[in-house]
Chain A
Amino acid sequence: MEKVLITGISGGQGRLLARRLLDTFEVCGVDRVAWEGRPKDVNVHQVDLRKRKFEDVFRTEQPTAVVHMGMVRHFRVSEQVRHDVNVRGTKQLLDHCVNYGVQKLIVISSSYVYGAAPENPFYMDEDFPLGASRSYPEMRDLVEVDTLASAFLWKYPHIRTAVLRPVNTLGYYVHSMIGEYLRQARVPTVMGFDPMMQFIHEEDVSEAIALALEHGLQGVFNVVGPGAVPISVAIREAGSQAWPVPEFVLRPMIDRAFRWGLVPYPAGAIDYVKYPVTLSGKRFVDTTGFRPLFGLEEIFHSVRR
């Protein structure tokens, strides 16, 4: 039986994935926090990706496959810590994969790496340049993680490496920035803008990762859900109320509120609710036959206030 190591296993998506893989894989994981009530045959190592002990996990567990989703995607820590955990942590992980004979690696990136810009075409494919750091410098570490993993893919072709870029992920368990955004009682939007947004359910993301493991995918893949709606519809369906604010007020407002810790996202995130970032999931569907199980209505229902 293959043994898969999941980084960030105690997070919402990590737990779902662990449970999904339990029948077909031996599962272990690392996280900084414990997983209370985990299935008894899942081993969780409480270590920091940046620490030496992380390497010990590879030594003792000898995983054949690794799913790397233990990035810090929130802004509650300093930029330095984020960079350290995400970029250096990923680099360490890649080195360990080479040194400890890992055969399959899946890195969970996201649609955000493409960046939101007015000139974005609809339904971008995987070859579209990653523009997130242009107007959203706080995201550059995650862009770098994606780039590191994509370079690794070419450098070590004997390790089956897949970089997955799922679109806005919602669900009961997952903690995503977009989920937090939609669940606010009054959701600030940019007045006069209402871009199309794609969504996918957390269970479908787990399914996609499982498929990628089963197929031993190699390459970069967008993972797209059942469709797109304007952000105003998503807000309405999540049971919240849109609060359109003119951009020249919204930017300084979010900027301050973020610095005072009142909102969880910096002003750079505004572009994502102003311009569309829509992806083509064709490559992933063509290679794996993936079909999302959850429709848009179910997705929004899962985050309803």
Chain B
Amino acid sequence: MSARSGWRGALRDLGGALLPLSVRDLERELDDRIRKVPTRLNEFGFDPWGLHPQTVRDTILPALALYKLWFRVQTHDIDRVPAGRVLLIANHAGQLPFDAAMIAMAMLLEAEPPRIVRGMAEYWVSQLPWVSVYATRGGAASGTPDTCREMLEAGECVLVFPEGVRGMNKLYRDRYKLMRFGTGFMRLALEAQAPIVPVAVVGSEEQNPGLANVGRLGRALGMPAFPITATFPWLGPLGMLPLPVKYHLYFGEPMQFSGAPSDEDALIDAQVAQVRAAIESLFERGLAERRGVFRG
């Protein structure tokens, strides 16, 4: 392990001391798993899009705590994710992208070989100080189709939420209802000939129940949405904290589509509908199997 120094190291040590032994043991295992990630890095440890596994390693503790202790994530059939290029298509909910972080953690901790999930960030993310840096170091890139295609062609595992912000800021009454899907991911899958693995996240849809979304206020503040929840904005930043719901991640069978990426919308829509249906049937299974929103 590398030597730690300065306040960052101290903070990390403090964080580590507060966590139970099981999580700290896991942290040690991480080095090994990160080494096994098939991503190619240059002599300074970066990939072409700015991913830096060492930064992932150094900042993973909070995500690890969320994964193990807060959301107590349970994965189902993660071995269905094939090696090599693959698109993970998941539902998006919960006001803040904890679902993305938990899918990424699952792929790093439990998939074989371990993978670093590449995400497509909203482009306004690249304007936020620090957020932009850590998003990039963790494997995200501001979302343009070209970047996504190049990542797939390099054999990466790319996560897309076709609902986008429509999903992330959906209201509580719409939980487990998939919002309109964008079609870009399907054209990319066709272009890169990448298999699609549908992923259903059960739990995130209840983590921070949205009561209303004041889109106009959000736009005025330069954000894609402005959610009103039971706790936000009333409690300030603290109100962004999610409830300790139990997360289940269900991975579906890989789906391979064929056709021309430039096909007309009607054809693409039909293929998108198949992915949507696959997520919905995973929802059904997940909601029937779980014992409660918070209980394991």
Contact = CB atoms under 8 A, between A and B. Distances in A.
Contact of B123 (A119, A192, A194): A119
A228 B132 contact: no
Interface residues of B, number: 25
Contacts of B224: none
A123 B147 contact: yes
Q: How large is the interface on A (under 10, 10 to 19, 20 to 34, 35 or more residues)?
A: 20 to 34
A191 B123 contact: no
Nearest to A247: B129
Interface stretch (B46-54, B58-66, B180-188, B230-238): B46-54
A247 B123 CA distance: 19
B129 A191 contact: yes
Closest 8 CB pairs of A and B: A192-B129, A121-B144, A192-B130, A118-B126, A122-B147, A196-B50, A118-B127, A194-B133
A297 B132 contact: no
Interface string B11-54: 00000000000000000000000000000001110101110100
B189 to A, nearest CB: 19
A227 interface: yes
B44 A233 contact: yes
Nearest to A278: B48
Nearest to B126: A118
A194 B129 CA distance: 9
B278 interface: no
Given A192-B132, A193-B129, A194-B133, A121 B142 contact: yes
Contact of B42 (A191, A194, A227, A278): A227
Given A122-B150, A193-B129, A196-B136, A230 B144 contact: no
Contact of A230 (B46, B124, B129, B147): B46
Contact of A123 (B124, B126, B150): B150
Interface in B114-146: 123-124, 126-133, 136, 141-142, 144, 146
15 contacts: A118-B124, A119-B126, A122-B147, A122-B150, A123-B147, A193-B132, A196-B46, A227-B48, A228-B48, A229-B42, A230-B46, A230-B50, A247-B129, A276-B50, A296-B44
A45 B44 CA distance: 44
Contact of B48 (A123, A237, A275, A295): A123
A276 B49 CA distance: 10
Contacts of A247: 129
B129 A296 contact: no
Nearest to A246: B129
Interface in A155-198: 190-196
Given A195-B50, A230-B46, A247-B129, 7 more contacts: A122-B150, A123-B147, A190-B129, A196-B48, A228-B48, A296-B42, A297-B43
Contact of A233 (B46, B124, B127, B131): B46
Contacts of B48: 122-123, 196, 227-228, 278
From DSSP, what is the main secondary structure of chain A's interface residues?
loop
Interface of B: 42-44, 46, 48-50, 52, 123-124, 126-133, 136, 141-142, 144, 146-147, 150
Contact of B142 (A118, A230, A296): A118
A295 B43 contact: yes
Interface in A70-85: none
Nearest to B145: A121
A278 B136 CA distance: 14
Nearest to A244: B129
A296 B147 contact: no
Interface in A268-285: 275-276, 278
Contacts of A229: 42, 44, 46
B130 A118 contact: no
Interface string A113-124: 000001111110
B42 to A, nearest CB: 5
Contacts of A275: 126
Contacts of A297: 43
Nearest to B129: A192
User: Interface centre among B43, B129, B131, B150, by most A CB within 10 Å?
Assistant: B129
Interface string A215-255: 00000000000111110010001000000000100000000
A119 B122 CA distance: 10
Nearest to A275: B126
Contacts of B49: 122, 196
A120 B48 CA distance: 15
A121 B50 contact: no
A236 to B, nearest CB: 9
A243 to B, nearest CB: 15
B182 to A, nearest CB: 17
A189 to B, nearest CB: 11
Contacts of A278: 48
Interface in A45-96: none
A228 B133 contact: no
